[in-house]
Structure 1
């Protein structure tokens, strides 16, 4: 008797050999904000893949730029000049805060960019320690896993990178200091002095902060937080590094979140959205003080890749348009307004926070405590409603995130909210 091997059987067999966990769903193609699977179903990707498809799936301008560059050179050692890299350096200096005049592109991803910025700060200051936030997510290398927040990130490893000091997030909805924003006096900055005095080596090189936490729960700091943090760093000769891997390149409706919050850091790291439709590109933008780290201390084979640079230049051409950024702000505000309306009908929805198209909302139980199980359940069920959604803290958190491609139209924003409303009616009513 001849056995019949189905495509499902083949997929299950392959799944057993893939080291990391993957879903049963097999995706075939994407266009704009939509993904299409092998069964003919479509989904709005509210995570923009891994928050990196700023221009969505298959943006024609980005794809054409990659094709054109592939006909010339795919890769070149960064020891030589090239038109794509020269253009990208100039463009990044042009759109970044005015004090950031140096661009390091010999990195391939966000982890490498953050690690490089920290090395620059350590060499420039002659100091060692690094201050980060409780819920921070700075990357996946051993240094970045060590310096990120969350104990579960470090638990499996016998040795972690030394010198990290974790301090409370500016998380007003669940304030570590049990204060209210109107009267707290920004204790989340003022008390950092105590951590430096009692928990550090006394030699702090840098503060690394995501302007809005990515994996940590979409925490938006209160007014004045970054001005106070900038002053703290200046007073203590500490380098202020903004991890804009997720917030940068238009995500907040400004080119960088630093502009939204009105502060100039000493360095900004970029990656993810700079590639537009998935090109692997990253960079470190610094002021003159941080210049001078020798190349042999931080350079990677596939950094400064020409295909990625061509995609990044095409992406910046689009994102830098004022009307493009204005649309990001407009559709983001619209989604937040619709979520606020839904919260009036579904009390399980807690705090709603976001800037531009970096939006998150909490799921809470009747006592107002984080409901992690419900959050993960809704993320799973969202697929049945044509939505791909991610939760905070790798499934340990209670925030559902809405970060679709920045090309999102108002009609698509309403479609997301309509589908969310259907999900809530089915699961929360």
Structure 2
């Protein structure tokens, strides 16, 4: 890794002289030799002043972009009053955030658990809630799913490379095929004729592969790391019906889809499905505040703080940022703009796909969009996707790909404040990137 970093630094004139020696001190190496200096809105700037349009919103968490003035002001005002206190005490920012989360989530979700420090611990807490409420233990998740980095959520995630280094994983977790219609596990022609087989066959997994004691199904309404897979109409309602029939709790992992990313405050609203538990994080912090939450139905609310509580969960400073973020995203016209700008990008990307055989599919909701890359026969081509993402920097684009850089889908998830003009700039740069790739 040090040799790779040295080669990158030698090749990049825009890296400070001390970048290599600093990077060698990292246990977790930065994957890029670029050194960033500041951000503003949807743009990030390196130490030489070069500008990049961030199509990944940081780590998909900067829903309001870099340095949103209202979020910054809320944090500045709060830091002068109180940064942190034990959750034994009430504070106005935390109380306000709880109120707002109940207001914007599905109406059956009335209990908020803020003592979680990120998406991973929110999802783990949701499983604990479901296990306690149902008296059962097994967890069902999907192929290609990504639910976190703790040992439990690593086990829950549907990728073998995530689990490979660890000898002891959590028992009682089953992965089932995801609703990836383009590459259907069951080789069906399409959702109009398949009878939603990817839901129906879960019954077989429950009957023959589980312990018979299944507490919950945990699902991302649109896959995050797994390839931006958008389920067909009817999939999530059918999954809700199956869970009801089998007495299983349904958990929506909205760590990435929530807080306006799909053009609604939560994907649950878009699909018209009410989960028993919903988790949220990432974009809730607006411009980078670390905040996460579990929002649950009354029936799922028996988990006490001594079973799942983290020091920096419910941090007062982060709660102030999150409440302001919900204010901004909830204003008239904001989410409508997300939907309209996202639809405009999708239209331009479909035109791009028609001109470039490397683009196999374009799919998404709101500003959660994926570009699937393939070879000349349409088969997944992860190397081509990675090369395009790397070259994106030369075209002023920060791009990330699916499956932690192992997948063949380029993810387009800019901050939700993206304007129509900025959307066209993004698409213009993507067109230049693909034109350059075709010329190689």
* TM-score of the superposed pair, with normalisation by structure 2: 0.95
Deviations 1:199-249, CA, capped at 9 Å, x for gaps: 110000000000000000000000100110000000001000000000000
User: Which of the residues 11, 29, 33 maps onto 2:19?
Assistant: 11
1:160 maps to: 169
User: Which of the residues 259, 274, 279 maps onto 1:269?
Assistant: 279
- Equivalent residue runs for 1:63-74 within 5 Å: 63-74=72-83
- In 2, the alpha carbon distance for the partners of 1:294 and 1:96 equals 22
1:95 maps to: 104
Deviations 1:339-374, CA, capped at 9 Å, x for gaps: 011111101101111000000010111111001110
1:295 maps to: 305
User: Which of the residues 169, 175, 178 maps onto 1:169?
Assistant: 178
- Equivalent residue runs for 1:123-134 within 5 Å: 123-134=132-143
User: Which of the residues 65, 82, 94 maps onto 1:56?
Assistant: 65
User: Which of the residues 83, 90, 93 maps onto 1:81?
Assistant: 90
- In 2, the alpha carbon distance for the partners of 1:7 and 1:246 equals 31
Q: CA deviation at 1:197?
A: 1.1
* Matched position secondary structure for 1:417: helix
Q: CA deviation at 1:300?
A: 0.2
- In 2, the alpha carbon distance for the partners of 1:141 and 1:36 equals 32
- In 2, the alpha carbon distance for the partners of 1:408 and 1:99 equals 32
- Equivalent residue runs for 1:98-117 within 5 Å: 98-117=107-126
- In 2, the alpha carbon distance for the partners of 1:190 and 1:361 equals 29
1:279 maps to: 289
- In 1, the alpha carbon distance for the partners of 2:42 and 2:15 equals 27
Moved over 6 A (4+): none
- In 2, the alpha carbon distance for the partners of 1:389 and 1:316 equals 26
- In 2, the alpha carbon distance for the partners of 1:213 and 1:53 equals 18
1:251 maps to: 261
- In 1, the alpha carbon distance for the partners of 2:59 and 2:211 equals 36
* Matched position secondary structure for 1:322: coil
User: Which of the residues 223, 230, 252 maps onto 1:242?
Assistant: 252
Q: CA deviation at 1:322?
A: 3.0
User: Which of the residues 366, 372, 383 maps onto 2:376?
Assistant: 366
- In 2, the alpha carbon distance for the partners of 1:79 and 1:173 equals 50
1:418 maps to: 428
Mapped pair 1:44 → 2:53: yes
Deviations 1:298-328, CA, capped at 9 Å, x for gaps: 0000011000000001100000113000000
- In 1, the alpha carbon distance for the partners of 2:347 and 2:364 equals 11
- In 1, the alpha carbon distance for the partners of 2:177 and 2:361 equals 18
Q: CA deviation at 1:7?
A: 7.4
Mapped pair 1:119 → 2:148: no
User: Which of the residues 330, 350, 363 maps onto 1:353?
Assistant: 363
- In 2, the alpha carbon distance for the partners of 1:291 and 1:79 equals 18
Q: CA deviation at 1:21?
A: 2.2
- In 1, the alpha carbon distance for the partners of 2:242 and 2:347 equals 35
- In 2, the alpha carbon distance for the partners of 1:145 and 1:92 equals 27
* Matched position secondary structure for 1:17: coil
- Equivalent residue runs for 1:188-267 within 5 Å: 188-267=198-277
* Matched position secondary structure for 1:428: helix
User: Which of the residues 8, 26, 39 maps onto 1:30?
Assistant: 39
Count residues with an aligned counterpart.
Answer: 424
- In 2, the alpha carbon distance for the partners of 1:345 and 1:9 equals 42
- In 2, the alpha carbon distance for the partners of 1:416 and 1:7 equals 25
1:3 maps to: none
- In 1, the alpha carbon distance for the partners of 2:103 and 2:20 equals 49
RMSD over equivalenced CA pairs, Å: 0.9
